[in-house]
Amino acid sequence: MTTETSPLQAPPLPSRWERLRDSYLLYSFKRDPIAQLSLLVFIVFVTGAVLAPWLAPMNPYDLAQIDILASELPPFWIEGSDPAYMMGTDAQGRDLLSTILYGARVSLIIGFGAVALQALLGVVFGLMAGYLGGRIDAFLMRLADIQLSFSTLMVAIVVGALVKAIFGGATFSSYAVPLLVLIIGLAEWPQYARTVRASVLAEKGKEYVDAARTMGLPSRRIMFRHILPNTLSPIFVISTVQVANAIISEAALSFLGLGMPETHPSLGSLIKSGFDYIQSGSWWITLIPGAVLVVLVLVINLLGDWLRDVLNPRLYKG
């Protein structure tokens, strides 16, 4: 004698349900100091990055402002620092605080851009694979499997190397931002596709999809208007993690010399250019941008963790 809801009972209105969920989101956010702190730090980062041209003491891209004599100055808490350069300077005499603000801007642009591309590819492919099934499903998922077994980083490195070889170093440098978005987007779509496919398969078995199909709705409409909204919470959750991943991937590519050029640095290329000077004792050139990168990625991951706990979607395992 299980207590079941009677089939005659009308389902609650979607808008009200959404409002309920939003309020629960808000409720648990208010109770979670780590999530609050993470969001605060993240907002500070985004604001700093957006307002970099106005906030930064100097424009690191403007060669005229750079004073080569002021190179490798330490940050303010170490002896020998110059009050004009709070975080010190790098080997070319650029103000580190300014390069970091501009670098975070580049990292965030690439991170969000790459995730937007991944999401677009992944959602479309995942919906197709899950809803249409058959050969399309087999082909797309096999492709995703191969790509994932090579790991997204490896694919990004190989694609990055190829793109660089095709365009040549100079062209690559001048179009580095869109190219990196393309590279990371192409490398990491399988994560999205598999998550979307898994939730589509779960949703597909439910009655409302059957109902929509019996009503003779075209499959494109069923996919986008009926199934997609129900897969939003897993998409939302992995999006946060994927932004963190994309920022790390960009940093890794830049560190290997396959990403942003040193004249237009991201956090990753700042770490790379500073690494050459670590032996001479100027550790701050590489470790301060490193710490900034870690904090940025960490707060995004913490927000993602919190979201996953709150929304608790069934994520694709493995």
Q: Give the binding site for another protein (CB under 8 A).
A: 1-3, 146, 148-151, 153-154, 157-158, 161-162, 164-166, 244, 248, 251-252, 255-258, 268, 271, 275, 278-279, 281, 283, 286-287, 290, 293-294, 297-298, 301-302, 305, 317-318
Q: Which CB atom, from 67 or from 305, has the smaller least distance to another protein?
A: 305
Comparison of 55 and 161: residue with beta carbon closer to another protein: 161
Tokens 């409409």: give the residue.
221
Min. distance of Cβ 159 from another protein in angstroms?
A: 10
Question: How many CA atoms lie less than 13 Å away from 255 in the CB half-sphere?
Answer: 15
Q: Which two tokens stand for residue 201?
A: 């398969």
Smallest separation, CB 84 to another protein (Å): 26
Give the residue with the Cβ less far from another protein, 107 or 228: 107
Enumerate residues 6+ apart whose C-beta is below 8 A from 182: 117, 163
Complex with another protein: residue 66 or 114, whichever CB lies closer: 114
H or E element, residue 182: helix 176-204
Q: What is the smallest separation between the CB atom of 283 and another protein, expressed in angstroms? A: 5
Residue closer to another protein by CB (options 39, 55) is: 39
Whose CA is closest to 191, among 279, 84, 304?
304
Residue 3 beta carbon to another protein: minimum distance, rounded to whole angstroms = 5
In whole angstroms, how close is the CB of 137 to another protein at the nearest point?
Answer: 17
**What does each C-alpha distance from 232 to 17, 77, 194, 197, 225 come to in angstroms?**
14, 47, 14, 12, 12
Q: Measured between alpha carbons, how far is 108 from 120 in angstroms, rounded to an integer? A: 18
Query: 100 or 297, CB closer to another protein?
Result: 297
Of residues 263 and 280, the one with the C-beta less far from another protein = 280
* Minimum distance, C-beta of residue 281 to another protein, in the bound complex (Å): 6
Shortest distance in whole angstroms from residue 204 CB to another protein = 22
Based on CB atoms, which residue is closest to another protein, 75 or 257?
257
CB 196 within 8 A of CB 123: yes
In the complex, minimum distance from the CB of residue 133 to another protein, in angstroms, rounded to a whole number: 19
Contact 114, 184 (CB under 8 A): yes
Report the alpha-carbon distance of residue 143 to residue 173 in Å, rounded: 30
Evaluate the CA torsion angle 150, 188, 185, 113 in order and state its sign. negative
Q: Is 289 helix (H, G, I), strand (E, B) or coil?
A: helix
Angle at 190 between CA 266 and CA 255, to 5 degrees: 25
| Token pair recorded at residue 13 | 């209105």
